Amino acid sequence: MHPANLISIALQKQKKQKLPELPCEPVKAICAITGQRQLCLPREEVIKYTFTNLNLFVAPTSGFISVDVFYAWNYGYVTEGRGREKRPERMSSWVCDGEQFIELNRQGVREWVLKEEMPAVWTGYATTSYKKHGTMVAKVNIGNHRIWAFEMRLVDCSDMKLVMNWWQILNLALRDGIGRTIMEGLDCPPFVIGKIGLKKWIEFEQWAAPKYQSALYSFLCYLLLSQEELRDESNSFFNRQ
């Protein structure tokens, strides 16, 4: 199954918004994007000739694209106060289990990534650019697999013991004063080292050096609390005293 299939199934069940109208009668054909034989539309009815990322097509020579892809890509709505249509598959982070297609902000992605249990079948995509078709990168997870798409990278979160270990270390470092940007590049200004202490910085750098270019490390850094969330957390703690 392809992520677009799962999203299309969920959209047809949800019926929150009207599905986009098909431009013509579909026919059975091989979908250029999914590689599956299913109901399809002529390729030119779904994408323009200027479309990039053709390298991600499963059957790039096919002249057809599935109805499921059309629904997933073109489903959208006009948000209040904006005239522009929002199409969540490309313009949002999301998760889908075939029952619901759920838009997520960064906090929402964090909650889903750290969940103890996931649906039996699901797919998820996280983005900060809001420009790419997430379904072209994401994978459908079954059983114990927990693979997220983060921008154009796949992040394997299946080993939750490892994920939680790294998550705890990164959170402690954040609270020690090592900001997300510093963690991402391991380039710490002297004045920050002066604040947190040389020993703490060296210990963190030695731990992070073999990991910081990995997809999992980058993804977990993205999920860390913002400064505003940290302030709210601190205020909440002191208000409980």
User: Half-sphere exposure of 144 toward its Cβ, with a 13 Å CA cutoff?
Assistant: 4
Average pLDDT over residues 155-172: 98
Average pLDDT over residues 82-108: 92
pLDDT(238) > 50: no
pLDDT(46) > 60: yes
Average pLDDT over residues 168-186: 96
Distance between CA atoms of 99 and 81, rounded to whole angstroms?
29
Give the pLDDT confidence score for residue 83 in this predicted structure.
66
Average pLDDT over residues 63-79: 94
Percent of the chain with pLDDT over 70: 95
Distance between CA atoms of 69 and 21, rounded to whole angstroms?
13
Report the predicted TM-score, pTM, of the whole model to 2 decimal places: 0.90
Average pLDDT over residues 27-51: 95
Give the pLDDT confidence score for residue 232 in this predicted structure.
80
Q: Which residues pair with 147 in a beta bridge?
A: 156
H-type alpha helices, the chain: 3-14, 67-74, 88-91, 106-113, 160-176, 180-185, 190-196, 198-208, 215-223, 227-239
pLDDT band at 237 (very low <50, low <70, confident <90, very high): very low
Give the pLDDT confidence score for residue 241 in this predicted structure.
34
Lowest mean pLDDT among 84-93, 156-165, 196-205, 225-234: 225-234
